[in-house]
Structure 1
Amino acid sequence: MGRDLLQLRAATPEDLEWIHELRHRVYAQELGQHVPDPSGRLRDGLDGDNVYLVAARGAARIGFVSLTPPWLGRYALDKYLTRDELPLLAEGGLFEVRILTVEPRWRATAAAPLLMYAALRWIAARGGRRVVAMGRTELLDMYLAVGLRPVGRTVRSGAVTFEVLTGGVPELTKLAMDRYGATLERLRSAVDWRLDMAFAPRPDGCEHGGVSFDAIGTDFRSLHRRRQVVAADVLDAWFPPAPGVRAALAEDPAWAARTSPPTGAEGLLAEIAMARALPVETLAVGAGSSDLIFRAFGQWLTPDSRVLLTDPCYGEYAHVTERVIGCRVDRLRLRREDGWRIDPARLAAAVSSEHYDLVVVVNPNNPTGRHAPAAELRSLIDAAPTRTRWWIDEAYLGYVGITESLADLAATDPRVVVCSSLSKMYALSGMRAAYLVAEPVTAARLRRWTPPWPVSLPAQLAAVAALRDPAYYSDRWLRTHALRRQLAADLAGLDDTLTVEEAVANFLTVTLPSAGPSAAQLVSECRRHDVYLRDLSPLSAEYQGRTVRIAVRDTAENARIVAACRAALDALRPGSTSPVPMPQSVPAAGSAR
């Protein structure tokens, strides 16, 4: 990048002395917020833990902004207001933005707005849901223009008065793109963006699927690349579908391509009913579980609805409820120190204390891979308020055992719906087939809102053949456990500072140490080796920007994953001269279902 570009980067150790000196000049000498210090430096108790983003042009440092993430457990505002006075300080996923400071001669430039935008992108890339800030009263219009709103509290520090402001990250991002998108796009070419997230969010603000297909080519002109790319960023099966599936698709592909399928997927519904020992009238099918999620939630929920999700969980649920429908969404925080398990007592207390219209439980959970025993969930549901509907996502249940399914409960209890994708368990992700189980009245209503031919003929043929060969898939699922255990052991052997968690499904997670590279940097560096991993940071602040999810592949591709991670960790060690490319598109956090 040219030296005339405005550079945005995370602060280096060399930047910190300048930051402390500039803070002293501005907040002690210029504004009188603090008593001048003989050292000419101004520090505070968060300096060792918070994050600084810096704007520079060539060797000249222009300005900075400070970010305090929620995992520190404390904020600068704690010095001025108690948690009772400002309850939002106790919210999960809250990031504090503070001390936006620009050198005097650069204050009329785009430096301050770009630092504010960089702070928003950094927070969104770490799963932040809300920001809080102290804005100087004389600059209040600037903060209001970007979407921050006063909470009704002011803080006085020395000669300076601050307004306490807050805003939701999705809303602030949408406003930034709607109001300033054209300006930001013009500025993009004038910015040397050295932060570990993309300059702009995806158009819909959600990370659907992985980005490995971008490397193969979404125009399908370079499909040979599929043999070179390790797509461990999506949870597609590592094994092929059953022989019967391949035979059904190969018998007459021209006929399957040109022929309209059974209008209501009647044969597929009958096969699911037989395989799962369920009445056919309790079933509805869709082109993948995302199709069913959008269709069902669109029927049941409105902007006035209240929804409870676990945090973290499959990102499509937050997207549909918050961004598409506009529901009020609460989250039950899962904790690493608890092994990411759902605490039934905490979940029961949350459900009984609030009037939720819908509770979503992904079981086994994606991306943690943890499974909640069916008996615990049955007890929870039995004790829950009758007005609360439960959506149980069992996309990965085959890795635990079909006896753990709540499908039989869903078939009789109007409060419960079970959704099951055939994509991951049956190696049919490209086919797009899924079903849900609900009591007959609920299922019939959803079928009425299902368009004709919801599942293609090739997908119906494949799904029926797959369900007729349970022995093949049981063997593949057992083999998946062995592959996962070996992959986990090999990754753990790379560096004793890595935390590898493998749980029960066809994926595992790797967490980098807090003093090491970010998850985004590891993902970006592995792409240099055509190995694609999933950065979980945008999904939840619980991951602290340090965790990647890796899908289990076959033995050869798992070896490539381990080799790429080894090379990436070597390249990212301090003192390495290997260039680390910054992502040009948003790291994905969802997964097509």
Structure 2
Amino acid sequence: MGRDLQLRAATESDLAWIHELRHRVYAEELGQHAPNPTGRLSDGLDGDNTYLVVACGAARVGFVSLTPPWAGRYGLDKYLTREELPLLTEDDLFEVRVLTVEPRWRATAAAPLLMYAALRWIAARGGRRVVAMGRTELLDMYLAAGLRPVGRTVRGGALTFEVLNGGVGELTRVSMDRYRALVERLRSAVDWRLDVPFAPGPDGCEHGGASFTAIGTDFRSLHRRHEVVAADVLDAWFPPAPGVRAALAEDPGWVARTSPPTGAEGLMAEIAAVRGLPVEALAVGAGSSDLIFRAFGRWLTPESRVLLMDPGYGEYAHVTERVIGCRVDRFRLRREEGWRIDPARLSAVVGSGRYDLVVIVNPNNPTGRHAPASELRSLIAAAPARTRWWIDEAYLGYVDPAESLAGLAATDPRVVVCTSLSKMYALSGVRAAYLVAEPGTAAGIRRWTPPWPVGLPAQLAAVAALRDPAHYRDHWLRTHTLRRRLAADLAESDETVVVEESVANFLSVTLPPGGPSAARLVDECRRHDVYLRDLSPLSPEYQGRTVRIAVRDAAGNDRIVAAFRAALELLLPSRSVSRASAAEDVAAAGTAR
């Protein structure tokens, strides 16, 4: 295979060939279907499927069909009921079907390339499980890729198929470990035109932050920070309180070279005083991720069962599934229900008594919805005594600090509240956070905390920030005003996009079905140095069409809107805003920065 091998999503012109090849292979060659006079074999799921195509120059080589969960049906429904195959009821299941290669290309790497491309496409849409029908005579190929039989065999015409399934995470590990050499050869041989990266990122949680890559992670081109709009991370748009800047600037040489208080005693005392909490109920860390890793690493094992909200903050899935290896279930939040947590439904799920830990981010990131404290208190009170609740309140200040469950956490051994000071207090760069737990639980976390967990700059900054609540209240209120204006401007850009405001410092935009993917929108906006977050990998509920946008200052928001409109002009050619107008928007926003 030469460098002219191309992997792409099927175009309209590819569909006729797909139907013709299916007829040649599955009707004429293999006898799964009866031949028909048209010489074409269509699929009842054609309107829901995504087809990936391999071509060599002008010659098409092969294709694979993907059916997403939001289609509401699968090809396997023709053979098995949901009762016979309960796997088909899962919300994050993607079906891979009809992997077909032209006869003269079957001895090449075309089939492995299509299988690998299908896996990458599914992972980029938040898929966690794959189901497939593998012809029995090709079963070894599917088993070698990491798929496993579910114990069901189906028959179609003259063919027998084994029903197979696998976890996306495990299949990705197999492809990158067992077949790394082949994957690297394919990387150099293929013109990869999918809207997903060729290879998965490093084994870590995806947090966005590509904007810093544009600025320069070697810190040699920091002037770029004035050119890049970092709306892919939820850092505050406003500066920290004047007292914070004064504390860091008074004697930076001393601050840089001096070891901090070993246990952050002054910071803990300030938190206790400001929040009205006993100091013995506190533990501090270098950001909430530090506390999550420390606490979960002590409490959970691969035998633990954890319930996560979905969509939800990706760090929790990363730590529980990939780092610890827990058994993780997801409580599905749905757009049609306003992304809210249904207390009755959640209570019924947790009431089964099988969960060691339930994680709730409140307000939730990325949906931006807040669950009232009264509802959560009732849920916790009714839950089994063995279930621990972890409540992440990183964005609660945008709602009302009085909604915090920190007071409950200080007395109830089943509840822990984690609060980052990064987002609410404009301290993301210095990394400071704390958790609140019953004193015995908090002492256990402190016992497994190394000395100097929070650096001196962070301790000084956090204490100064907590002493100036008026500064932050003013900026939290202004954030709501900026967000509403940004939402209105984005909504006016095109009537086919859906803008959903949050209660915090971000919003989401969903592109129309059948339109461009969120990944393509993100790429187009980056051409204008505007960075947005593609939410697709977090959950299949986003269907590959939703981006999250952090609120910036007025000038930054203007650049976001201008870049968004310019991108839509390219990606949605039928939209009403003229191409000239979109170009003028970008130019004007660039001049204003």
TM-score (norm 2): 0.96
Other structure's SS at 2:351 match: helix
Measured in 1, the distance between the counterparts of 2:335 and 2:195 equals 24
Amino acid at match of 1:196: D
The one-letter code sitting in structure 2 at the alignment partner of 1:289 is: S
Seen in structure 2, the aligned counterparts of structure 1 residues 205 and 468 have a Cα distance that, compared at 3 Å, is closer
Q: Partners of 2:338 and 2:88 in 1: how far apart?
A: 25
Native 8 Å contact 2:208 2:533 kept in 1? no
Please state if 1:117 is matched with 2:112: no
Contact 1:257/1:458 (CA < 8 Å) preserved in 2?
A: yes
CA distance in 2, matches of 1:205, 1:119: 22
1:208 shift after superposition: 3.1
Question: What are the within-5 Å matches in structure 2 for residues 316-395 of structure 1?
Answer: 316-395=315-394
8 Å Cα contact 2:389-2:416 kept in structure 1: yes
Supply the distance in 1 between the matched residues of 2:360 and 2:247 (Cα, whole angstroms). Answer: 34
- Asked if 1:505 is matched to 2:504, the reply is yes
Contact 1:369–1:505 (CA under 8 A) maintained in structure 2: yes
Pairwise CA distance, 1:205: 5.3
* CA apart distance, 1:185: 1.5
Q: Is the 8 A contact 2:125 2:544 kept in 1?
A: yes
CA distance in 1, matches of 2:88, 2:205: 26
Aligned to 1:548: 547
The residue identity in structure 1 corresponding to 2:313 is: Y
CA contact (8 A) 1:127 1:537 kept: yes
Corresponding residue for residue 20 of structure 1: 19
Cα contact 2:3–2:191 (8 A) shared by 1: no
Give the Cα–Cα distance (whole angstroms) in 2 for the partners of residues 4 and 280 of structure 1.
Answer: 63
Q: CA deviation at 1:354?
A: 4.2
Corresponding position of 2:191:
192
In structure 2, how many angstroms separate the alpha carbons of the residues matched to 1:308 and 1:11?
37
Corresponding residue number in structure 2 for 1:445? 444
Q: How far, CA to CA, are the matches of 1:285 and 1:239 in structure 2?
A: 24
Question: What does residue range 73-88 of structure 1 map to in structure 2 within 5 Å?
Answer: 73-88=72-87
Work out the CA distance in 2 between the residues paired with 1:187 and 1:164.
Answer: 28
If asked which structure has higher relative contact order (CA below 8 Å, sep 6+), I would say 1
**Corresponding residue number in structure 1 for 2:172:** 173
Aligned to 2:514: 515
Q: CA offset at residue 96 of structure 1? A: 0.1
Contact 2:54 2:61 in 1 (8 A): yes
1:391-402, aligned counterparts within 5 Å? Answer: 391-402=390-401
Unpaired runs of 5+ in structure 2?
A: 580-593
| Conserved 8 A contact 1:4-1:58 | no
Q: Which residue of 1 aligns with 2:8?
A: 9
Structure 2: distance between partners of 1:177 and 1:489: 44
* Whole-angstrom CA distance in 2 between matches of 1:187 and 1:32: 32
Q: Distance in 1 between matches of 2:256 and 2:462?
A: 16
Q: C-alpha deviations, 1:104-144, integer Å up to 9, x for none?
A: 00001111000000000000000000000000000000000
CA distance in 2, matches of 1:506, 1:514: 26
Task: Tell me the amino acid that sits aligned with residue 305 of structure 2.
Answer: R
Report the AA paired with residue 312 of structure 2.
C
Following superposition, the deviation at residue 183 of structure 1 comes to: 2.1
Residue identity opposite 1:28 in structure 2: A
The count of aligned residue pairs is 576
User: SS at the partner of 1:241?
Assistant: coil
d(CA) in 1 for partners of 2:13, 2:225: 43
Partner of 2:488: 489
Shift of 1:451: 0.4
Structure 1 vs Structure 2: percent identity of aligned residues?
83
Residue 368 of structure 2: SS of its match in structure 1? coil
Q: Aligned ranges for residues 566-581 of structure 1 at < 5 Å?
A: 566-574=565-573
State the distance in 1 between where 2:324 and 2:245 align: 39
3-state SS of 1:516 partner: coil
Specify whether residues 388 and 399 from structure 1 end up closer, same or farther in structure 2 by C-alpha distance, changes over 3 A only. same
1:560-579: per-residue Cα shift (whole Å, max 9, x none)? 00000000011113599x9x
Alignment of 1:95-134 (within 5 A): 95-134=94-133
Gaps of 5+ in 1: 579-593
Match of 1:246 in 2: 245
CA distance in 2, matches of 1:59, 1:48: 25
Could you tell me the TM-score, scaled by structure 1's length?
0.96
Instruction: Kindly indicate whether the alpha-carbon contact (under 8 Å) linking 2:215 and 2:222 is maintained by their aligned counterparts in 1.
Output: yes
> The residue matched to 1:127 in structure 2 has which SS?
coil
Cα distance in 2, alignment partners of residues 412 and 385 from structure 1: 17
**Mapped partners of 2:198, 2:35: distance in 1:** 38
Matched, 1:283 2:282: yes
CA distance, structure 2, for counterparts of residue 205 and residue 131 of structure 1: 22
Could you tell me how far apart the structure 1 residues matched to 2:514 and 2:50 are? 12
Local SS of the residue matching 1:116 = helix
What corresponds to 2:49 in structure 1?
50
Q: Which runs of 4+ in 1 moved over 4 A?
A: none
User: In structure 2, how many angstroms separate the alpha carbons of the residues matched to 1:209 and 1:567?
Assistant: 22
Amino acid at match of 2:358: V
Cα distance, 1:314 vs structure 2: 0.1
Change (3 A) 1:209 1:448: farther
Q: Is the 8 A contact 2:207 2:233 kept in 1?
A: no
Residues 105 and 354 (structure 1 numbering): CA distance in 2 closer, same or farther, change over 3 Å? Answer: farther
Counterpart residue type for residue 167 of structure 2: G
Match of 1:34 in 2: 33
Residue 202 of structure 1: aligned partner: 201
1:519 & 1:530 partners in 2: Cα distance? 16
Q: 1-side partners of 2:100 and 2:329: how far apart?
A: 34
1:507-554 deviation digits (Å, cap 9, x = unpaired)? 000000012110000000000000000000000000000000000000
Give the conservation status (yes or no) of the 8 Å contact 1:410–1:417: yes
CA contact (8 A) 2:53 2:63 kept: yes
* Bigger mean CA deviation after superposition, 186-195 or 95-104: 186-195
**Does residue 459 of structure 1 match 2:475?**
no
CA contact (8 A) 1:3 1:58 kept: no
Partner of 1:189, secondary structure, is helix
1:209 CA drift (Å): 3.9
Per the TM alignment, residue 186 of structure 1 is displaced from its structure 2 partner at its CA by 2.4
Deviation at 1:437, TM superposition (A): 0.1
